[in-house]
Amino acid sequence: MSHLLKAMGLWMWGLIAIGISVSLVSVSYRVLSVYRGHQLPAAHAASNEVTASPVAAPPPPMLLSAEGKPAPPSVKSSSANGSNQFSRLIANELTAAQRAIEAQQWSGALQNLEAAEAKSPLTPYDKSRIGEFKANVYGRLNNFKAAQAASEAVLATGVLKDEELAKLFRTLFQLAAVNLQGAKAIEFGKQAFDAGVMQPNDLLIMSQLYYQQKDCKNAVAWGDRAVAAFKKAGKASKEVLYQIKLQCAADANETAAEISALYDLVRLTNKTPYWNNLIRLERQDERDDHNTLMIYRVMYDTTAMQADTDYIEMAQLLGDAALPGEAQMVLEKLMSTSGVLKDEHRERTTRLLNAMKTRADADKKGLPTLDAEASKNPAGQLDVKLGEVYFGAGDYQDAATAISRGLGKGQINQPDEAYVYLGRYWVTQNRPTEARKTLEQLRTLPNISARVLRLWTLYADTLPEAPSASL
């Protein structure tokens, strides 16, 4: 597969860096010279989740108030066991530190915490509370390395209960990821996952971390978990998850997995480059001209046709199928699209366009005769042919009328083509619901190509909803 992609100019390469700050996550999937890699920002967490971006990251989740706002740990001096308690030895320093945090006097808070840290002897609970305070302050100062060190010091005390420990694992996972400590972040992430506190965005980051470690198997597995978690939460999945799958499949020369990832990416984003890549992969093993032409129509209608050779081959197939009017339409689109037609193909394209135009003009002149013959014929094949000629001439309403009449009569050689033309008509009328219903009929045809059905079904699924009428 890799050799074929190289030969086609489709060699894929990617760089997925863990994107927890300032768009560090980027995936580029390069296909053709017309496609430029783009950077993808890491997914933002919901407002009630801890964000993965250190630019605006709040203190660790164990230090958030019930309202989700940063809040310093409460000072509570006692000799009883518990992570919220500490000895009277450091009560004055922690009380002063809390007041300084509330006043946003960070240097004063740190000075009081250092003074508390210098006291002796400190109990494990004392060390835990000092560490929580320091992690809070450093988080507010965006000093995430220091916040991580303080949080690890809390972990080392061994005094946290299960619920607090679970939150700390998630905090350390996020901090290690922000600090680009991939292996350590993964270990904390697994502990947080086992404790049941991971959010969908955390699972996404785990997938990215594994990809950065060149571990595609785990990157894809955690990506699947993230997709399921986003779905369960009623949220749209993230593009980068499927890009990781795509890149891993390309690196492993797994064409089927690559195609599957592209289908997911098209459904999620409906972006032209993904359409182009998908159709090229689906088309490469197709040997039937009729099916190839049906695939080209998807590429044309999704504006994913980016190479002049695609336009030219589609026009030639249309000419061979006795559809010169549609071929003329395709070639005129090529000629009018800036920067697509190469100079070395211009003369050939002009000759082909002139030939198709001559044939299309002859077809238009014969429309009255063909219409009369089709109306008298009990079979629907001539009606469909009439509709195809009308469609190539840009007369979509008459095309739909003739094709609908033909479908009603039956006895059509290629009903898949008839339904596709009728679906395309509804698209020209900005009637996506009718288009989807029409293209749904392709599923009822016994001999339709599986890949043609997949692509037109995907096309129907990605049609935008028509704007609602103003009241």
> Are the beta carbons of 17 and 202 closer than 8 angstroms?
no
Question: Residue ranges of the chain with pLDDT lower than 70?
Answer: 1-86, 466-471
- Give the percent of the chain with pLDDT over 70: 80
Identify the domain boundary among 178, 198, 218.
198
Each residue of 170-210: pLDDT tens digit?
999 999 999 999 999 999 999 999 999 999 999 999 999 99
| Residue that the structure tokens 């996972």 belong to | 173
> Is 300 a domain residue?
yes
> Is 124 a domain residue?
yes
- In this structure, the answer to whether residues 357 and 398 fall within a common structural domain is no
> Is 40 a domain residue?
no
- In this structure, the answer to whether residues 336 and 447 fall within a common structural domain is no
How confident is the model at residue 87, as a pLDDT?
79
- In this structure, the answer to whether residues 393 and 331 fall within a common structural domain is no
DSSP string, 400-448: HHHHHHHHHH---S-HHHHHHHHHHHHHHTT-HHHHHHHHHGGGG-TT-
User: Where are the extended beta strands (E) located within 85-240?
Assistant: none
Each residue of 366-378: pLDDT tens digit?
999 999 999 999 9
> Is 151 a domain residue?
yes
Tokens of 62: 């164990």
Identify the domain boundary among 346, 365, 384.
365
Assign residue 410 the CATH number of its domain.
1.25.40.10
Q: Is 285 exposed, middle or buried (0-12, 13-18, 19+ CB in 10 A)?
A: exposed
> Are the beta carbons of 315 and 323 closer than 8 angstroms?
no
For residue 138, how far is the Cα from the chain centroid? 34
Q: Facing residues of 60 across strands? A: none
- In this structure, the answer to whether residues 345 and 437 fall within a common structural domain is no
Rama region for 184: left / alpha / beta (φ>0; ψ in -120 to 50; rest): alpha
- Number of compact structural domains in the chain: 3
> Are the beta carbons of 418 and 391 closer than 8 angstroms?
no
- In this structure, the answer to whether residues 354 and 421 fall within a common structural domain is no
How confident is the model at residue 467, as a pLDDT?
56
Whole-structure pTM value: 0.77
Cα–Cα distance, 116 to 127 (Å, whole number)? 9
> Is 441 a domain residue?
yes
| Residue that the structure tokens 């629907």 belong to | 380
How confident is the model at residue 75, as a pLDDT?
47
Tell me whether the omega of the peptide bond preceding residue 121 falls within 30 degrees of 0, making it cis: yes
**Which residue range(s) make up the domain with 325?**
286-365
> Is 243 a domain residue?
no
CA atoms within 13 A on the CB side of 384: 22
- In this structure, the answer to whether residues 124 and 191 fall within a common structural domain is yes
Identify the domain boundary among 340, 365, 390.
365
> Is 119 a domain residue?
yes
- In this structure, the answer to whether residues 435 and 326 fall within a common structural domain is no
Judged by DSSP in three states, 352 sits in helix
* DSSP element (H, E) containing 38: strand 38-39
- In this structure, the answer to whether residues 314 and 394 fall within a common structural domain is no
Cα–Cα distance, 42 to 184 (Å, whole number)? 20
Judged by DSSP in three states, 27 sits in strand
Q: How far is CA 232 from CA 43, 162, 264, 443, in A?
A: 17, 25, 17, 29
- In this structure, the answer to whether residues 191 and 76 fall within a common structural domain is yes
- In this structure, the answer to whether residues 358 and 425 fall within a common structural domain is no
- In this structure, the answer to whether residues 309 and 395 fall within a common structural domain is no
- In this structure, the answer to whether residues 361 and 381 fall within a common structural domain is no
> Is 268 a domain residue?
no
Mean pLDDT of the chain: 82
Rg of the chain taking only CA atoms, in angstroms: 31
Long-range contacts, stretch 444-450, CB < 8 angstroms, 24+ apart: 445/415, 445/416, 445/419, 448/416, 449/286, 449/288, 449/291, 449/294, 449/416
CB within 8 A of 103, min separation 6: which ones?
none
How confident is the model at residue 59, as a pLDDT?
31
Closest CA to 422 of 306, 270, 371, 412: 412
